Amino acid sequence: MSPNLAGGLHLYPGRPVPTGIVGGRPVGGVALGSGLAAVSLPDALAAVFNLCGHAHRLCSQQALQALALPMACADDEVASGLRRETALEHTRRIGLDWPRLLAPEAGLHGAAIDALRRCPLNAPGTVSWAALSGWLSNECLRMPAAQWLARWQRAGVSWLKGWSAGREGWLASLLHEAQPADVDLPWQGAQALHAGNVDAQRLDAAMAAARDGDCTAWAGRPVHTGHWCRASAQAPAPTSAWGLLGSRLAELAQLATLEPTQPLPLAWGAQRTGERSAIAWVEMARGLLVHRVVLDATGTRVAQCQVLAPTDWNWHPEGVAAQALAALRGSLQGVQARLLVAAFDPCLAVEIAREDGHA
């Protein structure tokens, strides 16, 4: 595996596109795992990309299965694992990142951490979804999760504003504190990417030609991907960064309250694109993850594996977040930049420059 897997983002609010975002994931479209036994690839990628290890394991398994390698990927097990890991990632970002990014002076870190410690998803063994729904209702939303979700589905951001204004509990207070720094998002001209609109052959050709993971190399225009734009999304994509926080909460509530007869609102798939190549995709907490796997002539070893993660699209220097960052002005620049980070959730360390241009 490539040793150069670290990365980071340096954000410069107010700078024109494409100079406002510097850095990224060095791996992007770069090949990984050359020479590795194909059956070892899922575990190797899960170890390398351990922040989202479950999704990377699943994605590579799907690609190898499309290439006729025996992979244990029963649909019910895939759905159960993906549901748990996505819900767990949502709770971590809400409990760990939001207090730090949205309102660091509000003194809500302790309450958020205490709530997170009591989350049933952190316990070993089989998940009790009823317990998660109860935890979300009592510890976070201060009302039944299903009821919160239904009101979000009806009224979207208007409901979020009214609910958070009531300041019932740490989470509502946190969102209320963050709302005045909201940032409009320039969705116009951008392409939403989810499992329902993957063009595997086109994506395969573009990834094969690209060496830097540039999203515009195949999309032709900025691409965004996340819980707000899935085919299964419960409401239209919010028009602002603060609204995307509500979208994350809504997906967590949806996962927690899903009835046994309801389909999982997360999709995955794979397609063979050549004699020894395949593309696979998985919807995860941050958006759509894509792997391209090419086997060697023996069909047993990896000739090339490429990864495109949601961060590669959402934090592209010419993408939606970059355009929103460039438009920031005035004394709230830093606060609004942190809100964009919370909304688009990069899988990298982030440094935000001060008004003098220094991090």
The pLDDT tens digits for 226-262 are 999 999 887 889 999 999 999 999 999 999 999 989 9
CB 289 within 8 A of CB 59: yes
CA-based torsion, 256, 262, 267, 270: positive or negative: positive
Instruction: Judge whether residue 52 has pLDDT over 90.
Output: no
Query: Which of 270, 294, 267, 207 lies closest to 62 in space, CA to CA?
Result: 270
Q: Is 232 helix (H, G, I), strand (E, B) or coil?
A: coil
pLDDT tens digits along 167-197: 999 999 999 999 999 999 999 989 999 999 9
Give the residue among 229, 249, 237 at the shortest CA–CA distance from 98.
249
What average pLDDT does range 302-312 have in this prediction?
A: 92
Sign of CA dihedral 32, 273, 269, 239: positive
Q: Which of 38-42, 107-111, 153-157, 203-207 has the lowest mean pLDDT?
A: 203-207
Sketch the domain layout of the chain as residue ranges.
8-352
Q: What is the mean pLDDT of residues 82-89?
A: 96
pLDDT of residue 4 exceeding 60, the answer is: no
* pLDDT reading at 104 higher than 80: yes
| Residue from 188, 164, 166 nearest 174 by CA | 164
Report the relative pairing of strands 223-224 and 191-192 from DSSP bridges: parallel
Tokens 């709230």 found at? 332
Name the pTM for this structure. Answer: 0.94
Strand-pairing partners, residue 295, are 302
Give the percent of the chain with pLDDT over 90.
77
Find out whether 108 and 170 touch, Cβ atoms under 8 Å: yes
- Residues 133-146 have a mean pLDDT of 98
Rounded Cα distance between 39 and 240, Å, is: 43
Predicted pLDDT at 230: 95
Buried b (16+ CB within 10 A) or exposed e, 138-166: ebbbbbbbbebbebbeeebbebbbebbee
- The 10s digit of each residue's pLDDT in 325-336 is 999 999 999 999
Residue 338's pLDDT is what?
98
What's the confidence (pLDDT) of residue 214? 62
pLDDT of residue 2: 39
Class of domain 8-352: mainly alpha
Q: How far is 299 from 38, CA to CA, in rounded Å?
A: 8
Provide the pLDDT for residue 29.
47
For residue 306, give the H/E element and its range.
strand 302-308
